[in-house]
With several copies, the nearest count.
Chain A
Amino acid sequence: MKTFTKKRIDIMVEAPLLNRLIDLLERQEVGGYTVVPAIAGKGTSGTWHRDGQVGRVGAVVQIFCIVDESRVDAILKPIFEMVAKQIGIVTVSDVEVIRPENF
């Protein structure tokens, strides 16, 4: 099957920031995004576990977004600026899709 190469941006970010990140993605007019749960983790800011929180602070959520290669840089820049000073990391990888028009 013919497929088209796109980029998948994966963002892990502390939960209180999620709504702002989604607002940012909407302003960048990405074709879509998906929020995915995480249970626990460790990074430079220490260890966390979902079942050990009151409130949302400390928990990390994931959000990914499939975009056209041509738009990666424009989208990545403000994301990185937002996440850099918070708890979180950003990765980018290659994926192929079947219908290219939606991204």
Chain B
Amino acid sequence: MEATLNLAIANLTSPMILFFALGLAAALARSDLVVPEAIAKGLSLYLMMAIGFKGGASVAQHGVDATLLLSLLAGILLSALIPVLAFNALRLTTGLKTVDAAAIAAHYGSISIVTFLAMTTAIEGLGIAYEGYMVAVAAAMETPAIIVALWLVFRGKGEKSAGAEQTGSQFSPGLMREVLLNGSVVVLVGAFIIGMITGDDGLQSIAPFIVAPFKGVLCLFLLDMGLIAGRGLIGGARNLTAPIIAFGIYMPLIGGTLGLLAGAAIGLSTGGIALMTTLAASASYIAVPAAMRLALPEAQPAIYLTLSLGVTFPFNLTVGIPLYVAFSQMIA
């Protein structure tokens, strides 16, 4: 218990979380502070490249153990299962329409890569090792949730009553291609493969760029995430009812529990379990929203974006990370 509390305090007083809080505070105080769009995209590219490469180099060094395939499979199953739970929870507890509930559900089945990055940084700081291929698991979990969520809307309704034609909802192979080949995933997976090919030599040669400054860059990026989350809350809070906000808190805990159990069942290391927990607990706010605007335009972005970015993301970052680490240490 005390260990958990110490973890929590260490997390809350880490530069990472404090820069996020600074961004949040600046947004709520309506400061004009902005991180230019191009810089934010550049930082995100850097983070994807670094985390992917490091994961690949680590796989090259430690070899692929038997659990790699199991982890990928577990990730895909979690990504497909969580939306079903989330959808039903929303239908039971909130008055949201089918499309809105399904759109939100898709976010929670998918993942937040920044939450994943924050967790890797936290456990690295604690000296906890983890499987390098968890990066690949993260990539694999992006998409299944979207397919399941669209199925939740269209199943049994013969494509009609949900209003496919009239309302614009659509489920197209083009959409899947766009999601699978979106820039972030391509850099993440590409850098992972390059890391696997070039191994530790490659890593050493570019470590002063992708390893040494990583944590500092993440701080700057989290400052921006805080700004965006804060501004999202200012603009979108009135769209969130109490049951919806509650969902944004308990759903990561449900998802995280599933991730924790799955990670333990397939025999991941403590760090690996913590990351699997984090992936399952986190909610997307980049790939899934974009896909939802195309596939379910009648679902309200002000609800799903605000919930994922303004409620669940800060919750995972502040409360979730120490919690997931503590439980992973217990179960491992």
Q: Which residues of A contact B (CB under 8 A)?
A: 14, 16-17, 19-20, 46-47, 49-58, 85-86
Contacts and interface: CB of A to CB of B under 8 A. Distances in A.
Given A17-B294, A54-B40, 10 more contacts: A14-B293, A16-B293, A19-B32, A19-B178, A51-B37, A52-B228, A54-B228, A57-B292, A57-B293, A86-B297
Nearest to A57: B289
B302 interface: yes
Interface of B: 32, 34-37, 40, 44, 167-168, 178, 225, 227-228, 231-232, 235, 285-287, 289-290, 292-294, 297-298, 301-302, 305, 309
A56 B290 contact: yes
Q: Is the interface of A mostly helix, strand, loop or mixed?
A: mixed
Contact of B297 (A46, A47, A85): A85
29 contacts: A16-B290, A17-B293, A19-B32, A19-B178, A46-B235, A46-B302, A49-B231, A51-B34, A51-B35, A51-B36, A52-B34, A52-B227, A52-B228, A53-B37, A54-B225, A54-B285, A54-B286, A55-B285, A55-B286, A55-B287, A55-B290, A56-B290, A57-B301, A57-B305, A85-B167, A85-B168, A85-B298, A86-B293, A86-B297
A46 B228 CA distance: 16
B293 to A, nearest CB: 4
A53 B227 CA distance: 10
Closest 9 CB pairs of A and B: A55-B286, A57-B289, A51-B34, A16-B293, A85-B168, A16-B290, A52-B231, A86-B297, A85-B297
B261 to A, nearest CB: 30
Contacts of A55: 285-287, 289-290
Contacts of A17: 293-294
Which of B37, B168, B225, B232 neighbours the largest number of chain A CB atoms within 10 Å of its CB? B37
A42 to B, nearest CB: 11
A43 B235 CA distance: 13
Contacts of B289: 55, 57
B298 A58 contact: no
Nearest to A86: B297
Contacts of B40: 51, 54
A19 B290 CA distance: 12
B114 to A, nearest CB: 8
B164 to A, nearest CB: 12
